[in-house]
Amino acid sequence: MFLLTSNRRQLLGLDITTSSIKLIELAMSGGQYRVESYAAEPTPPNAMNEKTLVDPQAVGDAIRRAVKRSGARTREAAIAISGDAAITKVIQMPRGLRETELEAQVEMQADQYIPFPMDEVSYDFEVLGNSEKDGESIDVLLVASRSENVEQRRAAAAAAGLTARIVDVEAFALENACRLMTHQMPDGGIDHSVAVADFGASSTTFSVLRNLKVVYTRDFAFGGQQLTEEIMRTYGLSIEEAGRAKKEGGLPHNYQAEVLDPFIDDMTQQVSRSLQFYLASGTGREQPDKILVCGGCANIPGVADVIQSRVGIPAERGDPLGQMKLSSRARAQAVARDATALLTACGLALRSFD
């Protein structure tokens, strides 16, 4: 068992996605977080199949390059599996059990909730507190994944010379990272609902937090790769040329009207649809008080303003690093450029302080 394990070591937050490998190292100084080191590398072609890692050695080589460029000294990391590769269930256990007794009870009951043979599964649990359902019970969060999902990522880290000290779940890492954006939330997020739309390269995660806890999450296939592919088709560029032009500019004057604006419209529709799904997902759901737009697409000029005007909810570009200092080793330009896409990596790096 290894998921969710508490930790008091310095860790690299290592986020492995279909498009990039990002690692960040955080430290604490004077009660304030500081970025110690950061680097990103493109994910090697064909090394990922959707969110499944299929070539640990190639990914490990890319991680090694990122570690070298970052100047990071620690060789221990926190990594994450995707939410759709994890099984999570809150179960009730009797109060007053000793740790060893609780572990034995969870192990006995786990196979009721995990639809795989237990010898093919990695799992862990965390006590959440007293149960509202039963005054004599506690709520326990059970998290499991097929061992192959975990071992592929651990093997990639090992190929880079790193030890995967913690294996987390992306949704938990995102929730962890959201405490870095409380300065952008009404009343620091307390007694408020805040939506976070994290636009990745090929998929997007839409989450709603209440009191800084995720109460709703939805993943869907949409991301910045679609904009890259549209640039490629419209202007006859290679995928590499289109990706570079998207970031660096230099596209024809009709780019804004013919390519970028329709993509922003699609982004807005995805947010609006996700809000509708959220409101329909349970009784007592209310519109969030704020939307934080994250991921690489959040850097599109004016995109948060468009979402705000179309959806009718205040929206802002989310910045988990906005309150942090930077060490001399952290390249300020790269950190500023990628900040909105570092939710998962930051959430993992924060496990250093558990």
State how far the alpha carbon of 116 is from the alpha carbons of 47, 84, 90, 112, 141, in Å.
Answer: 26, 15, 18, 10, 18
Beta bridge partners of 127: 140
CA pair distance 11, 273, nearest whole angstrom: 37
* DSSP code, position 211: T
Block mean pLDDT (10 aa), the chain, length 354:
57 93 92 93 89 91 96 94 86 89 88 86 90 87 91 95 94 93 96 96 93 92 94 93 88 94 97 96 92 95 96 96 88 88 96 88
Rg for the chain, CA atoms, rounded = 21
Q: Topology of 87-146 in CATH? A: Dna Ligase; domain 1 (3.30.1490)
Cβ contact 189:165 at 8 Å: no
Q: With the C-alpha atoms ordered 242, 243, 245, 251, is the resulting torsion angle positive or negative?
A: positive
Distance (Å) of CA 349 to CA 15, 77, 326, 341, 352: 10, 8, 15, 14, 6
Across-strand partners of 25? 12, 37
H-type alpha helices, the chain: 56-70, 99-110, 147-159, 170-177, 224-235, 239-248, 255, 261-279, 303-311, 332-338, 343-349
pLDDT (0 to 100) of residue 110 = 86
- Residue for token pair 């998962």: 344
114: tokens are 């995990």
Q: How far is CA 265 from the centre of its chain?
A: 24
On whether the CB atoms of residues 303 and 318 are closer than 8 A, the answer is no
- Are 230 and 263 contacting, i.e. CB atoms less than 8 angstroms apart? yes
| Chain segment 28-73, per-residue pLDDT in tens | 888 899 999 999 999 998 898 877 899 999 999 999 999 999 999 9
Instruction: Specify the CATH number of the domain 182-317.
Output: 3.30.420.40
Q: What is the pLDDT of residues 316-347, one digit of tens each?
A: 999 999 889 898 888 888 898 899 999 999 99
Task: Provide the CATH number for the domain formed by 12-83+148-178+337-353 in this structure.
Answer: 3.30.420.40
Residue 207, strand partner residues: 196, 217
Q: What is the pLDDT of residue 195?
A: 97
Give the predicted TM-score (pTM) of the model.
0.90
**C-alpha span between 228 and 243 (Å, rounded):** 6
Could you tell me the residue ranges of all domains in the chain?
12-83+148-178+337-353, 87-146, 182-317
Strands ordered across the beta sheet of 193-199? 213-220, 204-210, 193-199, 290-295, 315-317
Tokens matching residue 333: 């330009």
- What tokens appear for 311 in the block? 């959806």
Return all residues near 285 (Cβ < 8 A) that are at least 6 apart.
Answer: 278, 279
pLDDT of residue 3: 53
Do 12-83+148-178+337-353 and 87-146 agree at the fold level? no
Q: How far is CA 328 from CA 10, 90, 160, in A?
A: 18, 43, 24
What does the pLDDT read at residue 291?
A: 98
Contact criterion met (CB below 8 Å) for 345 and 15: yes
Q: What is the pLDDT of residue 1?
A: 40
